[in-house]
């Protein structure tokens, strides 16, 4: 069910179009818009921009520390990547080797410990707030190409021996093929603690919990400017929030709210997902016998999982330049049938997409614009669990415990070349280069 919504910049407009046929939106049976728009001036300790996983986590964690919190969203909770993603709830980072290279071994161990806490936090919140979002434990990282098998093995060994995560186990070709009915996979790593969930239901559950805890949520309230200072003022078209702290969690469609050098540290990469018709329990279980979430270790990766109603949800990147929604769905469907030829007869019921906020080095980007003005961005396709921990880390920093925030803020980020208009074409060129490399 779609709430009435509007677009306030071009990317936002494109993102809006990409959820018109979302399985997640269709499988949430409650009304999606029940928060008012901000139409007056109010005061709060903390003003959070964006009601996705990150913003809602900041809000919950700040409330837990006794602060008054306002959350403003240009649309509604879960409208962004948090309500459209693959649902894979994972430990670690998009590029773990960068984390170790930049933070050193001790720093990488500390960051990994927080990423594990991130998955634990998702699982805890589902329990504590009784969120019905179909969490299913189990995750497989798989290799499709011989030269990526040693990479996968090396990653597993680093995670176990260097970064302090000893729950992983190795699956050779026979073992992986007994669990995933595809001839494509050569090896896999099993993680019993990571898993998958229905992200929109989880996000709406977090929003309910935030309201119950006394957070004031406003929908259809795009922030147009943050007036910086000792007591910042966050302005929307019809209202403003005067606060002590601002936290920006607006992701790829934020527009020009952030200072340009900070905005240039991320670029939006479109990713698309299709949902098949319901396959029935037997056919679904035959595809992925233990119903784990699965992702390969290619640069242009495929990610997929079964839904609670026995559909295959299959996602990946398809070139978007000029492609219609039907062509995008067809491109992802072809990738799905490449993995599972036995699904050639299956109908696609839903197809949707969103923008992943990637940094150049794929490490998350947490920073300060002023001592009372925070931002978190750049989860690089690895945000379901990490956004939760980002919220905790920021709330602790606001409360004066800055160690965890400082660790992430040490990560160095380069800017994408060009202004907002050039950032995507430049990135597309870089991606084409990687696509070529993957052909060999
Ligand atoms: C198709 C897709 C698949 C993905 N799959 C996975 C996966 O399987 N596993 C994983 O870990 N990660 C995945 N990700 C990444 C993950 O979804 C994100 O990292 C995460 O949801 C980011 O959460 P967020 O709260 O930072 O941003 P969002 O959820 O995007 O929320 C940002 C919010 O800010 C609001 N906003 C923006 N600008 C303004 C403004 N000016 N004023 C007010 N509000 C504003 C938006 O309306 C939006 O609601 C995927 C992403 C996509 C798009």
Q: Which domains does the chain have, with CATH numbers?
A: 10-85+200-265+361-431 (3.50.50.60), 135-197+268-358 (3.30.9.10)
- The mean pLDDT of 424-429, rounded to a whole number, is 55
Q: pLDDT tier at 423 (50, 70, 90 boundaries)? A: low
The per-residue pLDDT for range 11-37, each reduced to its tens digit, is 888 888 899 899 999 999 877 768 999
- The mean pLDDT of 59-83, rounded to a whole number, is 97
Helices (H), ranges, 180-229: 199-212
CB distance 329 to 302 below 8 Å = no
Candidates 98, 19, 129, 107; CA nearest to 414 is 98
Q: Which atom of ligand 1 is nearest to the CA of 53?
A: 25
350 lines ligand 1 (CB under 6 A): no
Could you give the CA distance from residue 16 to residue 35 in angstroms, rounded to a whole number?
19
Candidate from 72, 80, 306 with most ligand 1 atoms within 8 A of CB, to mutate: 80
Q: Which atom of ligand 1 is nearest to the CA of 55?
A: 25
Could you give the CA distance from residue 82 to residue 429 in angstroms, rounded to a whole number?
27
What are the residues facing 275 on neighbouring strands? 313, 350
Could you give the CA distance from residue 71 to residue 82 in angstroms, rounded to a whole number?
15
> Which is higher by pLDDT, 9 or 236?
236
253 lines ligand 1 (CB under 6 A): yes
Residue 252: burial class (beta carbons within 10 Å; 0-12, 13-18, 19+):
buried
Residue 273, pLDDT > 60, answer yes
85 lines ligand 1 (CB under 6 A): yes
Candidates 394, 382, 377; CA nearest to 266 is 377
Element (H, E) at 234: strand 233-236
364 lines ligand 1 (CB under 6 A): no
Closest residue by Cα to atom 50, ligand 1, is 85
The per-residue pLDDT for range 338-350, each reduced to its tens digit, is 999 999 999 999 9
The per-residue pLDDT for range 84-130, each reduced to its tens digit, is 999 999 999 999 999 999 999 999 999 999 999 999 999 999 999 99
Residue 42, pLDDT > 80, answer yes
Largest CA distance in the chain: 63
The model's pTM: 0.95
198 lines ligand 1 (CB under 6 A): no
In the chain, % of residues over pLDDT 70 = 92
CB distance 144 to 296 below 8 Å = yes
Candidates 286, 271, 290; CA nearest to 346 is 286
């Amino acid at each position: 069910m779609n709430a009435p919504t509007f677009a306030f910049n071009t990317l936002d407009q494109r993102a809006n179009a990409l959820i018109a046929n979302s399985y997640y939106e269709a499988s949430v049976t409650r009304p999606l818009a029940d928060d008012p728009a901000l139409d007056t001036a109010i005061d709060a300790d903390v003003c959070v921009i964006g009601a996705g996983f990150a913003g809602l986590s900041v809000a919950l964690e700040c409330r837990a520390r006794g602060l008054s919190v306002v959350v403003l969203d240009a649309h509604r909770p879960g409208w962004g990547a948090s309500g459209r993603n693959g649902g894979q709830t994972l430990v670690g980072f998009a590029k773990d080797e960068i984390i170790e290279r930049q933070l050193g071994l001790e720093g990488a161990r500390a960051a990994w410990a927080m990423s594990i806490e991130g998955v634990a936090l998702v699982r805890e919140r589902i329990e504590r707030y009784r969120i019905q979002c179909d969490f299913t434990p189990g995750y497989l990282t798989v290799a499709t190409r011989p030269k990526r098998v040693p990479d996968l093995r090396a990653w597993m060994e680093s995670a176990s021996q260097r970064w302090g995560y000893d729950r992983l186990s190795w699956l050779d070709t026979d073992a992986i093929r007994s669990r995933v009915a595809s001839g494509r996979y050569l090896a896999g790593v099993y993680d019993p603690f990571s898993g998958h969930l229905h992200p929109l239901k989880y996000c709406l559950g977090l929003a309910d919990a935030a309201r119950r805890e006394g957070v004031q949520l406003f929908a259809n309230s795009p922030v147009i400017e943050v007036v910086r200072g000792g007591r910042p003022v966050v302005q929307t078209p019809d209202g403003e929030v005067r606060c002590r702290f601002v936290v920006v969690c607006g992701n790829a469609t934020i527009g020009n709210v952030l200072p340009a050098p900070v905005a240039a540290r991320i670029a939006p990469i479109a990713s698309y997902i299709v949902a098949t018709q319901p396959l029935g329990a037997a056919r679904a279980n035959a595809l992925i016998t233990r119903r784990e979430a699965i992702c390969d270790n290619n640069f242009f990766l495929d990610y997929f999982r079964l839904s609670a109603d026995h559909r295959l949800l299959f996602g990946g990147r398809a070139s978007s330049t000029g492609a219609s929604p039907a062509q995008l769905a067809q491109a992802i469907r072809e990738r799905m049938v490449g993995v599972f030829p036995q699904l050639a007869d299956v109908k696609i019921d839903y197809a949707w997409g969103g923008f992943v906020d990637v940094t150049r080095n794929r490490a998350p980007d947490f920073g300060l614009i002023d001592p009372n003005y925070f931002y978190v961005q750049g989860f690089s396709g690895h945000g379901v669990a990490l956004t939760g921990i980002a919220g905790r880390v920021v709330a602790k920093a606001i409360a004066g415990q800055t160690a965890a925030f400082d660790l992430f803020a040490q990560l160095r980020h380069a800017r994408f070349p060009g202004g907002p208009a050039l950032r995507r074409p430049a990135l597309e060129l870089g991606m084409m280069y990687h696509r070529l490399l993957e052909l060999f």
